[in-house]
Amino acid sequence: MKTTMSMDRAAGKWMIRGIIGVSLLGLQHCSLLESPVEEYPDPEQGIFREVQEAGIPSLSACIVKEDSIIWAGYYGNADLRAPRPTGPGTVYAVASVSKLVVVTAVMQLYERGLIDLEADVNAYLPFTLRNPNLGDQKITVLHLLTHTSGLAWPETDNEVPGIYEYYPNDSGPPLQDWLPRYVQPQGSQYNPAIWKQTPPGTRELYSNIGVAVLGALVEVISGMDFSQFCRQNIFAPLDMPSTSYAWSDFDPNSLATLYGDGGQVIGFYRQLCYPAGNLKTTLEDFSHLLVAYIHGGEYKGRRILQEQTVREILRMRNPASGLCLIWNYTLGNWYGHAGGMPGVAAYAEFQPDHRIGLIIVANYRSKLLYPGNKIHGLVRRIARRYE
């Protein structure tokens, strides 16, 4: 049985608008993102109160400095049915924060000379990717990494029917099976709304489908399943044993139950665009990826990317929105990404000058975790202690 649910719309739209708003304000003081939290003298108590008032079942947050977690806070219960407090071993889904793994995987192939960012993706894919509205204009890997391919988000469930169907646990079709059916005019589930009237490279339009194409590229070029490639080339070298795209890889008692409004339990699910939004991890595990980016691609002597590649990933491509390659730049020289879908909210970011980062995750979809909102601002205040 399949059910339709929207993926990452509120988080993504809020994030884009927030960044654009900040950009237009120019060089105003960086505390703009943290102003809503002055009412709380003690930020830890403030987080506790906000979690309670918002009805968030559980929330976990940490501060990363140099190469380790130096502060962590755990609030509420990972499961309300038989109260199980959240803690260091709790595994959370992180929604679109998953995209940070996708760009890492793609750029590993780039380093090996196996993928050209300026090349036509049709040179790699087993199916043709073209916007039927625009003739034979090529779509490049760079277009996909900067959300400028012309592929829809989609912003609503009805825009491209079926694209946000979710499948129980780890079921669902492989990337290379379903993508042609949706993106090609002759495909059985094709809808014209999947393509926008914008030439490649001309308009930034956040796209989960575009990121799913990147996942397919990783599979085709590496000859490995996307999840397997990430496990072997990212999670293993970074010592991330509690990180996976599959629910079945975890002890059920370690998983944070997903909750909707009113305490409604949402069953574990996987979506078609799973590389873009279905990663599961712990604070400790995901902190290792942040540490690697803080240190130019290296975690405790284990290198997953070259420094030059990390600089290329973090080079801003759109000053109006702050978009780099998947990562987003915000005031104060922070680089981050938001995630939100039914039962999930997450935000991760780092500041290279101070070699500091933060991660916030919850098992309920709430915008309070994102920049410009209270919980994010409170965690930022804690992070300032360690700059």
The whole-angstrom distance between residue 47's C-alpha and the CA centroid of its chain comes to: 23
Whether residue 292 is predicted with pLDDT greater than 50 in this model: the reply is: yes
Q: How confident is the model at residue 156 (pLDDT cuts 50, 70, 90)?
A: confident
Contact 231, 336 (CB under 8 A): no
In this prediction, residue 3 carries a pLDDT of 37
- Mean pLDDT, the chain, integer: 91
Looking at the chain, the whole-number percentage of residues with pLDDT higher than 70 is 90
In this prediction, residue 16 carries a pLDDT of 25
In this prediction, residue 38 carries a pLDDT of 67
* pLDDT average, residue stretch 171-177: 97
**C-alpha to C-alpha distance for 243 and 387, rounded to whole angstroms:** 28
* pLDDT average, residue stretch 127-143: 96
**C-alpha to C-alpha distance for 332 and 381, rounded to whole angstroms:** 13
DSSP code string of 52-106: HHHT-SEEEEEEEETTEEEEEEEEEEEETTTTEE--TT-BEE-GGGGHHHHHHHH
Whether residue 6 is predicted with pLDDT greater than 70 in this model: the reply is: no
In this prediction, residue 158 carries a pLDDT of 85
Whether residue 342 is predicted with pLDDT greater than 80 in this model: the reply is: yes
Tokens of 27: 């060089």
| Domain housing 102 | 3-384
**C-alpha to C-alpha distance for 330 and 33, rounded to whole angstroms:** 9
Per-residue pLDDT of 175-204, as tens digits, reads 999 999 999 999 999 999 999 999 999 999
In this prediction, residue 155 carries a pLDDT of 82
Q: Please give the angle made by the CA atoms of 19, 277 and 248, to the nearest 5 degrees.
A: 155
**Three-class SS of residue 231?**
helix
Which CATH number is 112's domain given?
Answer: 3.40.710.10
Looking at the chain, the whole-number percentage of residues with pLDDT higher than 90 is 87
* pLDDT average, residue stretch 48-57: 97
Identity of residue 97: V
In this prediction, residue 37 carries a pLDDT of 54
Q: How confident is the model at residue 339 (pLDDT cuts 50, 70, 90)?
A: very high
Single pTM value for the model: 0.91
**C-alpha to C-alpha distance for 208 and 165, rounded to whole angstroms:** 13
Cis peptide before 154 (omega within 30 of 0): yes
Whether residue 24 is predicted with pLDDT greater than 60 in this model: the reply is: no
In this prediction, residue 119 carries a pLDDT of 97
- CB-side neighbour CA atoms (13 Å) of 352: 15
Instruction: For residue 162, count other CB atoms closer than 10 A to its CB.
Output: 14
In this prediction, residue 14 carries a pLDDT of 26
- Beta-bridged to residue 71, according to DSSP, are 63
In this prediction, residue 157 carries a pLDDT of 77
Kindly tell me the burial class for residue 87, based on how many C-beta atoms sit within 10 Å of its own C-beta (0-12, 13-18, 19 or more): middle
Cα R_g (the chain), whole angstroms: 20
**C-alpha to C-alpha distance for 187 and 335, rounded to whole angstroms:** 37
- Work out how many domains the chain is built from and give that number: 1
**C-alpha to C-alpha distance for 359 and 286, rounded to whole angstroms:** 8
Tokens of 92: 């959370």
Per-residue pLDDT of 84-109, as tens digits, reads 999 999 999 999 999 999 999 999 99
Distances (CA, A) of 292 to 113, 190, 224, 270, 289: 21, 39, 23, 27, 5
* pLDDT average, residue stretch 305-319: 98
Kindly tell me the burial class for residue 52, based on how many C-beta atoms sit within 10 Å of its own C-beta (0-12, 13-18, 19 or more): exposed
**C-alpha to C-alpha distance for 248 and 349, rounded to whole angstroms:** 28
Nearest C-alpha neighbor of 347 from the set 45, 106, 18: 18
**C-alpha to C-alpha distance for 165 and 182, rounded to whole angstroms:** 13
Identity of residue 307: E
Output phi, psi for 272, to 5 deg: -55, -45
**C-alpha to C-alpha distance for 290 and 306, rounded to whole angstroms:** 15
Strands (E), 192-295: 258-259, 265-266, 269-271, 280-281
Per-residue pLDDT of 197-235, as tens digits, reads 999 999 999 999 999 999 999 999 999 999 999 999 999
**C-alpha to C-alpha distance for 183 and 116, rounded to whole angstroms:** 22
